[in-house]
Amino acid sequence: MPVILGRLAIALLLGVAVTGGLVWRGVLDIPNRLNPFAPLKIADEVNWLTRRKLARLERDGGQCLAVLAESQVSHRPLPDRPSDGGCGLSNAVEVSRSSVMLSRDFTATCPLTVAFALFERHVLLPAAREHLGQEVARVMHLGTYACRNINHRARGRRSEHATANAIDVSGFILADGQQVSVKEDWRGDDPRRSAFLRALRDGACRFFDVVLSPDYNEAHDDHFHFDMGPYRACR
C-alpha cells in the first residue's frame, strides 16, 4: 500500500507540473482568474489566487503599475524618494480618485493602492448595497503618508504610514448624502450601519496584511487602519 500511495503521489505531482507548464506556455487556455501565472485584474472574481497575485505585486513594481493602468483608479506614478530616517517612498503613486470619490488625494505604495481598489470593488460597494440599500459616493480618509512612529510615539518602530504603505479610513458618504462614521456608528444605535462597518472590517482582511478597527484599541476608535506591511493582523 505505501508503494502504491507513493506512486500515486508522484503521478499527481508530475500531472500538476505538466499542467502548470502548459498553462505557463499558453498551450492550455484557462480563465485569467484561475491562471496562477496571469496578472491580477481588479475586476476578476476573488478566489484563492487573489492574495497570491497581490503579494506578487509587492515584488514587481512594473506589474503593479500595469494592474493600476487597467483599473478605474485615477493616479500618477511618483519618483522614488530615498529613505530619510525610514520615511522614503518606493513604487508610490498619487491617487485622485478610485471607483468612488475620495475626501482628498492621497499618496500610497502601488500594492496598497491595488489592495484598496480590490477592497472597494469586492467589499465596500457590495456591503453598502446589502446593508444600506444604496451606493457609496465618497470615502473619507485621514491620510496615508506621515513620517512617524507607530501611535506617534517618540521612540520605537516606524509606522507603515512612514512609507505611505497604510491608509486610515474614517467614514463614507452615501449616495443620498448620509454619512456613515466609524467613530459614531461602530457601536451606534443603527444595527444596519454597525453591520455594514463590521462587514468592511472582515472583508478588508482578504486583501490587506493588517486591518485594525475600534475593536483593536482606543487609538483606532475613529477609523480603520489598513496596511500592506510585513505582519498579519485582523482586529
Q: What does the pLDDT read at residue 4? A: 59
Q: What does the pLDDT read at residue 16? A: 36
Cα torsion 187, 189, 191, 193: sign: negative
Strand order in the sheet with 92-97: 74-77, 92-97, 106-109
Question: How many CB atoms sit inside 10 A of residue 189's CB?
Answer: 8
Q: What does the pLDDT read at residue 14? A: 46
Q: What does the pLDDT read at residue 18? A: 40
User: 180 near 174, Cβ under 8 Å?
Assistant: yes
Residues 6 or more apart whose CB falls under 8 angstroms from that of 198 comprise: none
Crossing angle of helices 110-119/50-57, nearest 10°?
A: 150
Q: What does the pLDDT read at residue 31? A: 83
- Name the grid cell of 93: 503613486
Longest CA–CA separation in the chain, Å = 68
Residues of the chain with pLDDT under 70: 1-29
Q: What does the pLDDT read at residue 21? A: 44
Is the model's pTM score more than 0.75? yes
Q: What does the pLDDT read at residue 91? A: 96
User: 229 near 115, Cβ under 8 Å?
Assistant: no
Q: Please report the beta strands in 79-135, taking only residues with DSSP state E, as ranges in sequence order.
A: 92-97, 101-102, 106-109
